[in-house]
Each structure stands twice: as structure tokens, then as C-alpha cells.
A and B are shown apart, each in its own frame.
Chain A
Amino acid sequence: MDKIARIDMGAPGGPKVTVGGLGEYAGLGGRAMTSLVVAAEVHPLAHPLGAENKLVIAPGMLSGTTGSMTGRLSVGCKSPLTGTIKESNAGGQAAQVLARLGYAAVILEGKPEGDDLYKIIINKDGIQVIVDNSLKLLDNYPLVEKLRAEYGDKVAYMSIGSAGERKLLAASIACTDPELRPTRHCGRGGVGAVMGAKRVKAIIIDDAGMKMRPPKDPDKYRDANRKFVEGLRKHPVTGEGLPAYGTNVLTNVLNEAGGYPSYNFKDGQFAGSNNLSGETQAALEIQRGGLATHGCHRGCVIQCSGVYNDKDGHYLTKQPEYETVWSHGGHCGIDDLDTVAHLDFLDDNIGVDTIEMGVTIGVAMDAGIIEFGDKAGAIRLVEEVQKGTPLGRVLGSGAAITGKVFGVERVPVVKDQALPAYDPRPIQGIGVTYATTTQGADHTAGYAIATNILKVGGDVDPLKPEGQVELSRNLQIATAAIDSTGMCLFIAFAIMDQPETFQALLDMLGSFHGITMTGDDVVALGKKVLSAERDFNTRAGFTKHHDRLPRFFYNEPVAPHNQVFSVPDEELDTLFNW
């Protein structure tokens, strides 16, 4: 990964590709690359859908190597949903393939005039940008189908559906999985709308003729990778729970702990949770001839994903994640997995974030547009998004916009991004992350659930405000670093509990680059990324007053713990003090 490609979509005479060296970005990958480029090069007051914004696509530092778990891709820009900096992370094949072609980043810049739609082909011979108006308004599944007829099955596809083309604020960028299904999405923050604004419909990445990226010290790298894999296999979360049940194993945990937000955050438990649980889902998948264990990219040894078939045994969608099952399930008062899976398919196909879309439907239910629990109604609302009707455009622009348009007070967003599947009142640590992260409400930015609820990597009482800021700070720093390596964040469960597995990760990073990596280096990397992101947000006009939860979390206690969020503002304001 010794080059950066810049594609000026607005160049006079048509898109222009420039390939250059790494310069000041040498050694960066993933989120470190996307955030440092955006912070340095995008005007903080730029309109996110304008020519001044950039869409930075970056494989992780170890992507494209023989290292396991290294296939995560970062996409960064100024977010049209939040107005903050954004890094949205996905699995799928794209990161590995792009890295093996030698690109540390591909940056889409500018914006073309007119209506033409483009596809970008990246292979060993270089980069081509081609007008292809036959792709207009195709959704992701038919789009990839059509592209496969031309470019085959040995490539990775990144694409936007109709939502991205319409520049809806919940629009995602899809990445294909090993079976070429467009199921792995850079979901959060409307990154698909930025790609749509640049009129790029699809990126076809073909690494034919390329080799694995060679480590500086191959023997040491192989050895470290072996220890790392052993560690992941040995830990009960990464070796047993995630492969068998996927992330949705959390439905029962959060429900039992009283932190499962239902009916648009009016309750902390949901009577229909057992029908939605990971245990039920895995059994159903196996019974219908799907898969309860599946990797989103080659080289993943945890394999938390799966394949969800319909009742006739035909492929419907990939295994919906916990957050998806929650947002379309309990949050909407729906307790039916087939409905959730159908909605997951629609979201992937149209190209919208499943968290934002599901939370929005719940807000629309609170507004009385349809009733809570209305399964057919929920599907109909997402189909409105697909059709691009005025109602569909409102819903596809997320929970904050929908709440405003329909006069709803209880709108669970921070910096206009929808809260995920964990109530911050009985789980105060995750509330700190939601409030303070540079990304808008995001659980992955500092997953305090691990320590508050699951008791992995420590134990901090979820019901008390004490210790939560420090916890969230440390998690946010570690996450920013892991998101830069290309490693899937789920490795954190094993490396937090097993020092030898953390050491193996350090040795992988070190031996690959021919240096020695320490825990302090990882912390320094995480801080560097967060500081750059925070600085961008400050220049974009964000202050400490934006680092707060919506007022109802401070005013409305939620059952069963009957608590409000009580971490003091002054403490939240110290999160980035280092």
C-alpha cells in the first residue's frame, strides 16, 4: 500500500485520476487514514453533498495480508447526517482486494456537472472512470447482478442503491461478501449520499495478478498470526458465542438486564424478545438450510455472520445483526424474525443504514403514521423509501428529520444520528459514548456494553455514573486504533481478556512493518485519530453542548430500573482531556 489515488469527479472534461505517493499519510490505514485526510483536506464548513467534501476509502493497516481478521474497510467524509467527521466501517471483500492492489486510499473529490452516473474500475492496470447510465436507480442486489455479468465473480463490488443516488441521509455504501452479495455496509452517517452526490454508482475492484502484501519479517508475522488466531479460538466470545449465535445473542442479555429499548425507548424490556433472540434465529437458520456461522470476508476466523433463508428455504438476507433485529424488532414493537429479515433485505438492497432506518420507523410509529407492531406497515414504509416518494425521502433522511417533520418529541439521536440498541439510562457507560463520540450516537465507538453488561474486559456497574467517563475514554481510544488496523472490532473481546492475544496483535503490527509495537504506541495512535476528529468537529461548529443526550433521557425514568441518565455534564466534558 504505497500509493493514494485521487479521483476528481468534477474535473473539466470529465473525471481525472491522479495516483501519487503517501506523503504525510505514510503508515496510516483505515480510520486513521480517512480521518486524518478529511481533517486536513475538507473544509469543516463544507456542504457534505458539495464538491468540497471528499469520500476517502481506506483499507486497514494490515488489510491484504495473510493476517486473519484484517478485512475491514473504512470510509470517511464529512457526514451529511451529522455534520461531523465520519468514519463508517464495513466487512466484505473490498478492503483486502484494494490493499493488494497497493492503494492505501482512494479519494473521491469534486462533483460532476449534469446527470451522468459513473462506475469506477480499479485493477492492476490502473483506474478507469466510465459513464454508465444503464445503472441508474438500480438497487444493490440487481445492480451487483448486472455488474457480475460484465466483471465476473473474482472481484469485489462497492455500490450504492437508490437511496444513495437520491442522497438520502441514511444512505449506506454496500460491499460484497465472499459470495458476492451486497450485504456488508458502511452504514452509518449517510456516506452513501456522499458517493451519490459524486455520481459514483459502483466501484469494481479486481486484484487479479496481485499477491498478498508481504510482511517485513514474514516468520515473525506468521508466528504472531498463529498465536492471535489461537487466542480468538480459545476465548468463549470469539471462539464460541459469536460463531454459534452471532451478535444477536445480545437480545436476551440486554432484555434480561433491562437495557433493551422497546417502543421507541419507552420501556427497557420487550415481551416478544424470545422470538427475536439469537438462539431462536440460529435454530431457524439451521432448520431452513441457511447458515448460523459465516464470515463476512475471507480470513475471518470468528465468523459471526450467517445466512437467513425464508420459510421455503430460499436465500432472503444475511443473518441480521443484533442492532438490526432490535431497530426493526423491539424498538418497533415487532416480534417476528421473518419481518425483520425482510426489512434487512430491503435496507441492504435500497442501501440504507439498518440502525437509522429501523429507529426512524419507530419514531414514525410514535408519530402515529402506523401503529407499533404493524409488520406490514413497517415494510410499506421502507418501500416508500425505495420508491423515493416524498414520505420515503423524509424517512430515508433518518430519525432526526422524521421526528422534526412529524412533531415527535422523543427522538433518540445524538448529533442527529440514531441511537443503537442499548438504553443509556440503565447502561450509563454507553450513554457517555453516545454523547461524546466524534461520530454521533454510535455504540461501536466505545463499546461500554462489554464492561457494563457482559463483564468482558473488566466490570463497571452499569447503573451508576461513577467510572463511566474513564471507561468510555479508554474504549474510544482503543477503538480508534483497532479501526485503523483493518481488524474487526470483535477481536476486542479476546484481546481485552487475554494479554497474550493482545501481544500477538502488537507483534503482527510490528513484524509487518519491521518495527516494535507496544501498547503505548496503540494508545498514541488512537489518541491521534480522536484528536484529529475532535478538532474537525470543533472547526465545524460543534461545542460541548452537542455532547449531550436528548433531554428525555434525563427526565423520563425507564422500567425496570426506573433510572435516568445521570453522568454529570462537567464529567462528559473531560472525556477528551489527555
Chain B
Amino acid sequence: MNITVKLFATFRTGRFVTQECEYPEGTTVASIVETLGIPENDLGIMLVNSRHVALNHKLSNGDTLAIFPLLGGG
């Protein structure tokens, strides 16, 4: 299935901004995070199609996954 992955802030360093990729059915957010070599401790929020998800969330064809480190502002 086709997934668009978007990375932000420090996660872009040495990786990419946006990438469309084929993943096997049943791929979870956790497995993509692992493939990207992002340590779990550095994770802030993950959004799939603009909704917050947990690491064990299973992705569907056509999803957009956005991965952020812990961020703040205001």
C-alpha cells in the first residue's frame, strides 16, 4: 500500500521532508518509525490524516503519516 510520510523539525536532518513509499499491508506507525531510525524517546506526536495516533496504529492505503519530535511554542 502507498503511504506518504512527512517529517518535521530535527527529524528532517539526514532524512527527508516528504516521501511516498510502498509498504506491506498491516504496516504500523511503529515499524515506519523504526525503519527511519527515529529513537522512540525522541518522538513527540504522530498524525495520520490529521488525527493523533499511537505507535501501534495500523496504516491504510493512501494514508498520510506526519511525525514530529516533541515541540512547543505559543
Binding site for B on A (CB under 8 A): 236-238, 240-242, 244-250, 252-253, 256-258, 269, 278-279, 304, 322-323, 443-444, 447, 449-450, 453-456, 461-463, 489-490, 493, 560-561
Contact = CB atoms under 8 A, between A and B. Distances in A.
Given A236-B44, A455-B44, A257 B50 contact: yes
A450 B50 contact: no
B50 A236 contact: no
A237 B8 contact: no
B45 A240 contact: no
Nearest to A420: B74
Contact of A253 (B10, B42, B71): B71
Would you call the interface of chain A mostly helix, strand, loop, or mixed? helix
A237 B71 contact: yes
9 contacts: A236-B44, A236-B69, A249-B9, A253-B71, A256-B8, A278-B9, A455-B44, A455-B52, A490-B72
B5 interface: no
B66 interface: yes
Chain B contact residues, majority secondary structure: mixed
Given A249-B9, A279-B12, A256 B72 contact: no
B66 to A, nearest CB: 4
Contacts of A247: 73-74
B8 A454 contact: no
B45 A455 contact: yes
Among B6, B45, B69, B73, max chain A CB count under 10 A is at: B73
A256 to B, nearest CB: 4
B32 to A, nearest CB: 16
B70 A256 contact: no
A325 to B, nearest CB: 11
B3 interface: no
Nearest to A561: B50
Closest 7 CB pairs of A and B: A247-B73, A237-B72, A258-B50, A250-B73, A236-B70, A493-B72, A256-B66
B50 A454 contact: no
Nearest to B47: A256
Contact of B6 (A245, A256, A449, A561): A256
B66 A241 contact: no
A461 B54 CA distance: 13
A65 B49 CA distance: 47
A252 B45 contact: no
Interface of B: 6, 8-10, 12, 42, 44-45, 47, 49-52, 66, 68-74
Contacts of A322: 73-74
A447 B74 contact: yes
Contacts of A250: 71, 73-74
Contacts of A257: 47, 50, 52
Contacts of A490: 72, 74
Contact of A444 (B10, B47, B74): B74
B10 to A, nearest CB: 7
Contact of A241 (B12, B50, B51, B70): B70
Contacts of A242: 72-73
Contacts of A453: 45
Given A256-B50, A561-B50, A249 B71 contact: yes
Given A257-B50, A453-B45, A241 B9 contact: yes
B50 A560 contact: yes
Contact of B44 (A269, A444, A454, A462): A454
Nearest to A268: B50
Contacts of A269: 50
A296 B50 CA distance: 33
B33 to A, nearest CB: 15
B1 to A, nearest CB: 20
A258 B52 CA distance: 11
A354 to B, nearest CB: 14
Contact of B73 (A236, A248, A462, A463): A248
Nearest to B18: A274
A240 B44 CA distance: 13
B59 to A, nearest CB: 16
B45 A246 contact: no
A253 B8 contact: yes
Contacts of B44: 236, 454-455
A201 B49 CA distance: 50
Contacts of A248: 73
Given A244-B9, A256-B68, 13 more contacts: A237-B71, A240-B69, A242-B73, A247-B74, A257-B50, A322-B73, A443-B74, A444-B74, A447-B74, A449-B74, A454-B45, A455-B70, A560-B49
B71 A454 contact: yes
Taking each of B50, B52, B68, B71, which has the highest tally of chain A beta carbons within 10 Å of its own beta carbon? B71
A238 B50 contact: no
Nearest to B74: A447
Contacts of B70: 236-237, 241, 454-456
A139 to B, nearest CB: 27
